[in-house]
Chain A
Amino acid sequence: MKDQQHNSTKDSRRNFLKQSALLGAGVVAGAGVLASCNNEAAGSGEKIKLLTATGELVEVDPSQIKHVRKEKLTELQERGREGLAGHHWTWVIDLSKCKNARKCMDACVGAHELKPHQSHINVLQMQDSKSTAPYYMPTPCFHCDNPPCTKVCPVNATFKRSDGIVLIDNLRCIGCRFCIAACPYSARRFQWFEPDYTEEQKNRVYDVELNVPQKKGTITKCLMSADRLRIGKLPYCVSACPNGVYWFGDKLEDTVTNGTTHETVKFSELIRDNAGYTYFEDLGTKPQVYYLPPKNRTAPYEPVDKFQEKYQEDRG
């Protein structure tokens, strides 16, 4: 809201303020971290005197200087921070159907321009204990309703939208990796190197809902393909599964649609009739990805190399 006020100010004045902001930055920083951490503390009523380009002496509150310095969000960033109204996306993963085809991983890597090992969805080979049966388990971001990652983010770069998606704004991320430490589900990846882009690819407008182009030194993570949801399409991975593993839908609407067969059922009934569950409910994270137990696996489980060649490429 405060930004809008400033949008109406004249350009010359804004430019001047921008320059003086550099001076002001020293004052703000010097005045301590008070200003840094909350606006309430900053608006202490003290004014900074500035000489405008036209020779007028004006008094400006330090907090105003900060607002001018605030990066202007691109339209995609603004839009990406708003959830799609009236939705709460959910995901049901049927472990009994996963055949480890990894088409989901390929689709994810393709859509988000990642290296194979960075796939936002990871198909794991699980075995809970020695005496229990092994199974394949795709793990995307769980888009928790009490997300530990957005709790710890110092700059609101990763955030939860009103439709439940946890996104990451990589024009803001400072690369502290606290969210990686906080996530119990290992859902987050970091761009340790400059992604392989041509100059042209690199300079594309950043789409927060697709997290493309990827940025060096920032986080990349599963976004439930927010860009696809916006246009009424199922996520990339969900649509790519040949085995009917994924059901994706809306908790508020109480429907989920199978990405393979497009069969649509009531979410609550699917969960109820198949003993759906979530992972690590005890952590209090309220994950929004549900699993159906791997029962009635008629096909044998065939273990594959957990460190396949295609995932070994580290830097571009």
Chain B
Amino acid sequence: MKMKRNILTVATLVVAFIFSGSSAVAQDFALWPVPDEAAAVENPVAPTKESLQSGKSLFDLQCKACHGESGKGDGLIKSADLTTPEFLAQTDGAIHYKIHQGRGVMPSFSTLPDEQLWDLVNYVRSLSMVRDSADLKDATVSIYFNDADGQRELTAKVEETNAEGQVVPVAGMKVNFAVKTHFEVGFLPIVAATDHYTNDNGTVTVAFDDTLIGDAKGVLHVVASIEDMDYAPAQVTEAVEWGKPNPEDYWTDRRALWKNNEYVPLWLLISFTVSALGIWLIIGYVALLARKIKLEGDRYENDVNT
């Protein structure tokens, strides 16, 4: 249910685009005046891991399409590079103001809770800090299916190898559960709206959504992925026969006017064939009569000759 509300929020958010029509996209930030009082506002949210995490989720949803994964303005449309020194020279308050207000093609995000905007500011600021992927820790995630007591549950376990070479559980790791769709970018969240973090055993368990539709046999591909700024992305996909079978009843062998010749409606096939044949048989009969006229003429000429 909460997932739906989320969608609605998103839907209302992006509405706020203002199309400028011109190519005033690559803008000099000095030209976007920010009131002094707005620029002077202090960032109340510290750039903690949680804040950056939240900012990243928001950025991926709302900003990535245009500003690009790395914020360099290389997304679907030409947009501001968020990693330049000029951009970073601005105060947090100024960045917050611009996200809040929007201008031209840049939509206004004034409907987002203020705290989330500050998370976003924190994350945007962190974009320019090049993170070496070697610095990221590695963790593995695995899925367990449990349908005892008729209650279907999914459990993900996150583990890492510590300095001593031992495999130990990772606590407090955010785990996302989803099912794969046909599209490589399409992952349908199984449980949305709330975040799930691993407990001290490195596991997190969620109830399964029984309404999901799988393939013809009901096979679903469940994906569990971890999301943490200190860890390299990792995910695991497991097939499970927990989905509803794909109805596949859309395409039928029913005859229809819009289908190809193999599926001609019978009434049409019969009436067309019968009338076509009928007409041409009659024409054939008339041709036969003409031939008879000719034969009769030959006979008559023979008679006259002899």
Residue positions of A touching B, CB distance < 8 A:
32-34, 37-41, 83-84, 86-88, 94, 96-97, 99-101, 103, 145-148, 150-151, 156, 159-160, 162-164, 229, 232-234, 240-244, 248-255, 257, 260-266, 269-270, 273-274, 292, 296-300, 302, 304
Contact = CB atoms under 8 A, between A and B. Distances in A.
Nearest to A248: B183
Interface string B181-221: 11111111100000000000000000000010101100000
17 contacts: A40-B273, A41-B273, A41-B277, A96-B11, A96-B15, A97-B11, A99-B19, A99-B105, A156-B260, A232-B182, A233-B183, A243-B17, A253-B246, A255-B188, A260-B76, A261-B62, A273-B4
Interface of B: 3-4, 7-8, 10-12, 14-19, 21, 60-62, 64-66, 75-77, 105, 107-108, 178, 181-189, 211, 213, 215-216, 246-248, 250-251, 256-261, 264, 269, 272-273, 276-277, 280, 283
A284 to B, nearest CB: 11
A242 B76 contact: yes
B7 A299 contact: no
Contact of B77 (A101, A160, A263): A101
Contacts of B246: 86, 252-253
A248 B16 CA distance: 22
B260 A264 contact: no
Q: Is the interface of B mostly helix, strand, loop or mixed?
A: loop
Contacts of B181: 249-250, 253, 255, 257, 264
Contacts of B60: 261
Nearest 7 interchain pairs by C-beta? A257-B186, A162-B251, A242-B76, A99-B17, A262-B185, A260-B65, A264-B188
B183 A232 contact: yes
Contacts of A34: 276-277, 280
A11 B280 CA distance: 36
Given A255-B181, A257-B181, A274 B19 contact: no
Contacts of B211: 266
Contacts of A147: 258
